[in-house]
Amino acid sequence: MLQPRSPREPEFLSQLADLAVDCAPVVAYGALVPPAALQVPRHGWVNLHFSLLPAWRGAAPVQHAIMAGDEVTGAATFQLEAGLDTGPVLGVVTEPIGATDTAGDLLDRLAVSGARLLVATLDGIADGSLRPEPQPAEGVSLAPRIETADAQVDWTLPAHAVDRRVRGVTPAPGAWTTWRGNRLRLAPVEPLSSSLALEPGELSIGSTGVLVGTGRGAVRLSSVQPAGKKMLPAADWARGARLEPGERLGEQVGA
C-alpha cells in the first residue's frame, strides 16, 4: 500500500508508474492530486464524494447539507482534475436526510451506499459502459472544513437553525456553548415552538425538560457535557448545577 505524505513526492509518482494501475480510486482524500499524478493511471483517478455534485464541493459536504436544511443528499463518483471536486460525474446515489439525522448518522449510511457506488463505477469503467458527464454550472455550493469555532451555537438563530447546526457538527467537532464562563458541549437538541417568553440562550427548567430560548422558539436539551466531565442527561445536569432564574447559555468564555 502506498501512503505518501504528499502525492507530489517523486518517489510516489515513480512507484505509481511502476504499478501500471488502470484507475486510482480515492475516498475522503484531503489533498489535491497534482497533474503529474493524475496522468499516470490509464483511466485517471475516481473520487467518491458525499454530496450530489456540484452541491457542497469541499471537505465537509454532509455537515453543510444538514446545516443548510437540505432534505436530500447523496454520493457521487467523479473523475479527479485540477479543480476542487469539479470533475465530470460518473455515478450518483441519493439519500434522504431525516429530521433527526446527525452528520455521523448520515455518513454511516453514505459509507455503505457510496462503497457500492464506487465498485459499480469501477466496473463500469472497466467494461466501457460509463461515460463521464460534466457538472452543471448552476447549483454550485462550497463545504469548507468545519472547525471547532464553527460549532459554537448562536442562540439568536431560530430554533430550527440551532437544531440543524448541532446535528451538523455531531459527533465532530461537537456542538458547544458556554455556561458560567466554561464550555458546555451539547448533544442533539429538539426544536420547539415554545410559548414561553425566553430570551436567546435563557434557560428554563420544568416538567417539559431543560429548555433554551432562541431567536424564535426554543429547543429542549437532551444531554450536555460540562468541562472536564462526562456527557449526562440535561435534567441531571440542571439539578446538580442549581441554575439561577434567568441564567443563560452563551456568555463569553472567561467572562
- Output the pLDDT for position 73: 98
With beta carbons less than 8 A apart as the criterion, state whether 15 and 2 touch.
Answer: yes
Distance CA 73, CA 77 (A): 14
Distance CA 123, CA 120 (A): 5
In terms of pTM, does the model score above 0.85? yes
With beta carbons less than 8 A apart as the criterion, state whether 225 and 170 touch.
Answer: no
DSSP H helices in 82-195: 103-127, 159-168
Distance CA 144, CA 2 (A): 27
Instruction: At 17, list the grid cell.
Output: 508508474
Beta bridge partners of 177: 184
- Output the pLDDT for position 255: 37
Q: Regarding the domain with residue range 148-241, which homologous superfamily does it belong to in the CATH classification? A: Formyl transferase, C-terminal domain (3.10.25.10)
Task: Name the fold adopted by 10-127.
Answer: Rossmann fold (3.40.50)
With beta carbons less than 8 A apart as the criterion, state whether 198 and 205 touch.
Answer: no
- Output the pLDDT for position 4: 79
- Output the pLDDT for position 153: 98
What is the CB-side half-sphere exposure of residue 127 using CA atoms within 13 A?
A: 6
**Per-domain residue ranges of the chain:** 10-127, 148-241
Residue ranges in the chain whose pLDDT is less than 50:
253-255
